[in-house]
Amino acid sequence: MFPKLFTLPAFDLFGKNIGPLALHTYGALMAVAFLIGLWVASREARKAGLDVQRTTDLAIYTLIGGLVGARLLLAIIEWRYFSQHPAELSSLITSGGVFYGGFLGALPVAWWYARRYALPVWRTLDVLAPGLVMGQAIGRLGCFAAGCCYGMPASVPWAVTFKSIDAQRTVGTPLDVPLHPVQIYETLACLVIYGVLVWMAGRKRFHGQVACAYVALYAIARFFLEYYRGDEIRGFLRLTTYRFISTSQVIAVLLLLAAAAIAPYLLKTQRVVSENATAA
């Protein structure tokens, strides 16, 4: 765990005391995640023959939509707390929020932008998917460094033990307790999904196949990873007196069903026509 890359000591600037200033690992890795995700999206756009500049702009707009959505879903999930402590709503500015809220917030923005600038919607979503999942892989390393999104207590040989008092104060990370490194689990899952999507991009049978594959594969991974999560910020729904399912698991199931329902329609309406077939 390495929550801060470095800290600058306090200093005077124009007669005012500034600092100390810290560069947090989470923020740095999130910036890296966005830049690499953007690079992957532009590379895939170039390979797909799409407008690279428009695709880059689209990624930036979807990031903004994702940031808003992630924090909005967190506010909804934790509304009971925020309604009783309205001053804490300001903490949403620095919070990472809930990923699926970000996804649901980014999707309509991406759809709107693609339609607004006459980009082929499903081809564009195919291009964005590998960059998104690569960004997730790197972003979860930031979560690991910060101690957020931590796992359940574990006795496995690779369990991790957090020590940072700052992490305990800010996100409630349990200290001196061996936990599942669930952030690393998700990073590995996302890297596998990324490999599948890149492989599929050059072999897809219909436009939208890569995007549907991303939604389905991540939904499956996220559903099972939730059982190893130890934080409760994601919200839960009661199934029975003794069983709960997280908000993210509910969303994952719904998105998996949506991907499974949309794929056959896209196979009929968005089929990829090869150059040989076109020439014939």
Over residues 77-97, the pLDDT tens digits come to: 666 766 766 766 665 565 666
Establish if 225 belongs to a structural domain.
no
Establish if 94 belongs to a structural domain.
yes
Q: Which helix (H) or strand (E) holds 11?
A: strand 11-13
Count up the domains in the chain and report the number.
1
User: What is the pLDDT averaged over residues 165-191?
Assistant: 90
- Does the pLDDT at position 190 exceed 70? yes
- pTM value is 0.85
**Average pLDDT of every residue of the chain:** 84
Q: What is the pLDDT of residue 279?
A: 35
Q: What is the DSSP string of 145-184?
A: HHT-S-B-B--STT-B-B--HHHHHHH-PPBSS-B--HHH
Residues spanned by the domain of 71: 4-8+19-192
Establish if 40 belongs to a structural domain.
yes
Q: Which helix (H) or strand (E) holds 245?
A: strand 244-246
User: What is the pLDDT averaged over residues 253-257?
Assistant: 95
Q: Which helix (H) or strand (E) holds 125?
A: helix 121-146
Establish if 176 belongs to a structural domain.
yes
Q: What is the pLDDT of residue 81?
A: 62
Residue 165, CA atoms < 13 Å, CB-side half-sphere: 0
User: What is the pLDDT averaged over residues 150-174?
Assistant: 88
Establish if 146 belongs to a structural domain.
yes
Establish if 203 belongs to a structural domain.
no
In terms of pLDDT, which residue wins out, 122 or 234?
122
Q: What is the pLDDT of residue 280?
A: 32
Establish if 169 belongs to a structural domain.
yes
Of 100-114, 165-179, 226-240, 245-259, the one with minimum mean pLDDT is 226-240
User: What is the pLDDT averaged over residues 169-174?
Assistant: 82
